[in-house]
Amino acid sequence: MSDLKFKCPNCGYHRLTEVMANVTVSTELENLYINDPMVAEPEYGDNERHGGGYILRFQCSNCKWVFRKDGENNPITSYADLAIWLKKRKMVTDDWEEAE
């Protein structure tokens, strides 16, 4: 188990976002509020499902700063690379050690 202590190097915010591409999402629709014939507002349930797709990048939830591989311009696109990036910066604590 790890303890995430992320702090954005750009703005200092403490949450990060996973951005995915080519994902199919389905959500239960519980109600549909119709204000007039041209305006309808959905109310969604808690049962969201998603499948497929791939990680496009990880970014700060606030300023959208993108995590990049050390020494490269390429964004980080895997949980393993994200864990290594965070561990090197002491932003995650746990018992595992990065392989040399």
Which of the 8 DSSP states describes residue 67?
P
100 contact partners, CB below 8 Å, separation of at least 6: none
Q: Which amino acid is at 26?
A: S
Q: Which amino acid is at 29?
A: L
Residue ranges, the chain, pLDDT below 50: 99-100
What is the largest distance, in Å, between two alpha-carbon atoms of the chain?
63
Question: What pLDDT is stored for residue 46 in this prediction?
Answer: 84
pTM: 0.74
- Say which residue the tokens 């990065």 belong to: 98
